[in-house]
């Protein structure tokens, strides 16, 4: 089973690399170098802050865009190219293994991509700050949280991919990401409602993915540390939520008639 | 040259020519259109809406807005503008997007406070803005320092300036001069008792010899101020009773208003000239505000406290 999962994951990774996904690294490098030089000249007193904000935002946004655009095609493309039948019929691969393998492959792609960007990012921080200190450890935490964002969005894109067309899947995925960034506000709004509406709103607010607590970019830009408890809770939350979304994906995919 | 190469070269040349032409045309368009209307436009006026639209990436957006503040101020300042219409809204936007970003409070408040064309000439807005910064970052002692300076230099309100310095001096890691400034401005404001309290506090709580000697000097001057005020009241009372000012201190002693000839903290006699109380050696009391002989200038410039500390160890 592990072997089959690994094979699907590795092939997904190879396919993404063949699709020139890693080309975004060039754009990222240009962005970081350009920002370091440009903002130093046209702004005041925020060289390091802008580098951290821009670098981490770019790592996050590039990853999310890649996750959505690749994630939505993971299943539909296989169906369209008729390769899915070959995989599922001619090889001893179960449907849940196929979905999980695809998920792991895309997460692997995004992790490699983010790690390569992080190397460039830390090189730029080293250049601007003339050294790295203990305080920069919080930057690692922010990158870890970004990876957790990727896990969530990949699972969601894959879920939509199991029952919808690529265009609608991408719209759904972007929408759910945008709504997820308001998760904390939604819970606040729900508290203001009364009666049945309150229950309904609260349920909906807890159902959307909580992307808000995974974004600590502005915080770490000011050298604020992230609480270890938050790291633990976010990790557990993403594991549980992504597990739920994957379960839903497998469930839908199992029921789907592929003939 | 093969046919294929010729085609490729033609495409490259055509592409280059079209791009060059487009750059030329954009430059012409820029000349026709004034950039002034663009400068004064805040596309989305609500900071809260912009924060929502940032999808959590508000830190980067705050940096961009701060850069826009710097560019906006620079452009208007260069043009010697009398009005900075969107400076305050831009700063408000920046600080709402990232309340922990300190340069907008520190530098932006100066942009707001200075008189045109050096700034927007709105020190009250500057003070409000720095107060917001303090609410968001109560541990940033420099913000209290900035607030104190705005109250002191721009709003001419030494009492509030002293209060700002005093609040800031209580923040961990604040520069010791914050307390010095608070005390100096409290004296300047006429709140002598407060100044005496703060300078005594500084004297008792510091081992820095420069600060201690400065505090002693300040306390001596404050004592002179309060003694001159008291003596002047007695002199005025004598003049009220007799219908003429006293010719010497003996007149007041004879009238029972004084027990003897008064002396200053350096043991020199106070002078009495035309019914006004004066110090004999004003150069020994550089910070006094009362009892100065005619022509002598006020030496109490709180902004020079730092100077005094290092240059006047006495």
Helix B177-188 to helix B209-242 angle, to the nearest 10 degrees? Answer: 10
| The predicted structure's pLDDT at residue A48 | 86
pLDDT of A140 strictly over 80: yes
| The predicted structure's pLDDT at residue B31 | 73
Question: What tokens were used for B293?
Answer: 């002989």
pLDDT tens sequence across A100-110: 999 999 999 99
From the list B52, B62, B70, which residue is nearest A44 (CB)? B70
Range(s) of chain B covered by CATH 1.25.40.10: 37-169
Q: How many CB pairs under 8 A join A and B?
A: 66
Residues on chain B bordering chain A, Cβ-to-Cβ distance under 8 angstroms:
52, 55-60, 62-63, 66-67, 70-71, 98, 100-103, 106-107
From the list A44, A49, A57, which residue is nearest B57 (CB)? A57
- CB-CB contact of B94 with B66 (8 Å): yes
Of B158, B149, B116, give the one whose Cα is nearest residue B130: B149
| The predicted structure's pLDDT at residue A120 | 87
Write out chain B residues lying below 8 Å of A39, CB-based. Answer: 63, 67
Question: What tokens were used for B43?
Answer: 């596309």
| The predicted structure's pLDDT at residue B156 | 82
Distance from CA of B52 to the nearest CA of A (A): 8
pTM over 0.80: no
Question: What tokens were used for A196?
Answer: 């049945």
Contacts of A225 (CB under 8 A, 6+ apart): A135, A137, A138
From the list A43, A185, A218, which residue is nearest B59 (CB)? A218
Query: What is the span of the domain harbouring residue A238?
Result: 2-255
pLDDT of B307 strictly over 50: no
Alpha helices (runs of H) in A19-136, residue ranges in sequence order? 24-42, 47-71, 73-80, 83-85, 95-129
Distance from CA of A53 to the nearest CA of B (A): 5
How many domains does the structure of chain A reveal?
Answer: 1
Write out chain B residues lying below 8 Å of A40, CB-based. Answer: none
CB contact under 8 A, A53 and B63: yes
pLDDT of B314 strictly over 50: no
Distance from CA of B60 to the nearest CA of A (A): 5
From the list A42, A211, A222, which residue is nearest B100 (CB)? A222
The percentage of residues in chain B with a pLDDT greater than 70, rounded to a whole number, is: 87
Contacts of B180 (CB under 8 A, 6+ apart): B202, B211, B214, B305, B306, B309
Question: Please, what is the average pLDDT of chain A?
Answer: 86
Contacts of A203 (CB under 8 A, 6+ apart): none
CB contact under 8 A, B52 and A182: yes
Average pLDDT over residues A122-148: 89
From the list B57, B62, B71, which residue is nearest A42 (CB)? B71
pLDDT tens sequence across B30-78: 777 655 555 566 777 788 888 888 888 899 899 989 988 988 898 888 8
Q: Say which range, A8-22, A85-99, A242-256, B128-142, has the weakest mean pLDDT.
A: A85-99
Distance from CA of A21 to the nearest CA of B (A): 23
pLDDT of A157 strictly over 60: yes
Q: Say which range, A90-94, B68-72, B155-159, has the weakest mean pLDDT.
A: A90-94
Write out chain B residues lying below 8 Å of A53, CB-based. Answer: 57, 59-60, 62-63
- Better-scored residue on pLDDT, A72 or A83: A72
Checking ipTM against 0.90, whether it exceeds it is no
Average pLDDT over residues A185-213: 86
Considering the four listed CATH numbers 1.25.40.10, 1.10.1040.10, 3.40.30.10, 3.40.50.10490, the one that applies to the domain covering B37-169 is: 1.25.40.10
- The three state secondary structure string of B6-65 is HHHHHHHHHHHHHHHHHHHHHHHHHHHCCCHHHHCCCCCCCHHHHHHHCCCCHHHHHHHH
pLDDT tens sequence across B165-222: 999 999 998 888 788 888 878 776 666 776 777 778 778 877 777 678 878 888 898 8
């Amino acid at each position: 089973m592990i072997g089959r999962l690994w094979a699907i994951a590795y092939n997904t990774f190879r396919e993404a690399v063949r699709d020139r996904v890693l080309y975004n690294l060039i754009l990222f490098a240009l962005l970081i170098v350009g920002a370091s030089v440009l903002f130093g000249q046209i702004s005041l007193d925020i060289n390091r802050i802008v580098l951290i904000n821009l670098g981490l935002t770019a790592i996050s946004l590039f990853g999310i865009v890649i996750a959505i655009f690749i994630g939505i095609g993971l299943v539909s493309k296989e169906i369209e190219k008729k390769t899915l039948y070959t995989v599922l019929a001619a090889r001893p691969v179960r449907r849940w293994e196929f979905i999980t393998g695809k998920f792991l492959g895309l997460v692997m792609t995004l992790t490699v991509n983010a790690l390569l960007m992080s190397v460039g990012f830390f090189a730029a921080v080293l250049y601007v700050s003339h050294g790295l200190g203990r305080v920069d450890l919080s930057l690692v935490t922010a990158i870890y949280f970004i990876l957790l964002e990727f896990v969530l969005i990949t699972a969601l894109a894959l879920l939509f991919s199991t029952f919808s067309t690529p265009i609608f899947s991408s719209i759904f995925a972007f929408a759910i990401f945008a709504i997820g960034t308001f998760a904390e506000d939604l819970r606040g709004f729900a508290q203001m409602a009364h009666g049945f509406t309150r229950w309904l709103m609260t349920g909906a607010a807890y159902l959307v993915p909580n992307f808000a607590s995974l974004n600590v970019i502005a915080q770490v830009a000011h050298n604020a540390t992230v609480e270890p408890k938050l790291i633990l809770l976010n990790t557990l939350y993403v594991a549980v939520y992504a597990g739920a979304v994957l379960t839903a994906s497998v469930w839908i995919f199992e029921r789907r008639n592929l003939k | 040259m093969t046919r294929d190469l010729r085609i490729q070269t033609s495409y490259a040349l055509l592409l280059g020519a079209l791009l060059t032409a487009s750059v030329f045309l954009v430059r012409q368009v820029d000349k026709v259109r004034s950039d002034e209307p663009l400068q004064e436009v805040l596309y989305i006026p609500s900071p809260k809406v912009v924060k929502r639209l940032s999808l959590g990436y508000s830190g980067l957006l705050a940096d961009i807005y701060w850069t826009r503040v710097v560019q906006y101020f620079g452009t208007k300042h260069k043009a010697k503008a009398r009005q900075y219409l969107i400076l305050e809204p831009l700063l408000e936007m920046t600080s709402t997007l990232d309340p922990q970003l300190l340069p907008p409070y520190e530098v932006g408040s100066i942009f707001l406070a200075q008189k045109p064309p050096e700034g927007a000439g709105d020190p009250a807005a500057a003070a409000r803005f720095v107060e917001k910064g303090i609410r968001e970052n109560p541990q940033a002692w420099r913000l209290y320092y900035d607030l104190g300076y705005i109250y002191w230099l721009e709003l001419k309100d030494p009492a509030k300036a002293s209060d700002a310095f005093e609040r800031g001096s209580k923040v961990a890691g604040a520069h010791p001069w914050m307390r010095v400034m608070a005390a100096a401005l409290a004296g300047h404001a006429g709140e002598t008792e407060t100044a005496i309290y703060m300078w005594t506090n500084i004297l008792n709580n510091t081992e820095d010899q420069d600060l201690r000697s400065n505090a002693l000097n300040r306390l001596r001057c404050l004592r002179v101020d309060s003694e001159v005020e008291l003596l002047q009241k007695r002199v005025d009372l004598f003049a009220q009773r007799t219908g003429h000012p006293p010719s010497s201190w003996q007149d007041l002693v004879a009238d029972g208003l004084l027990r003897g000839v008064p002396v200053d903290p350096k043991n020199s006699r106070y002078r009495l000239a035309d019914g006004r109380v004066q110090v004999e050696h004003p150069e020994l009391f550089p910070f006094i505000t009362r009892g100065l002989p005619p022509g002598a200038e006020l030496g109490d410039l709180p902004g020079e406290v730092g100077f005094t500390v290092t240059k006047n160890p006495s």
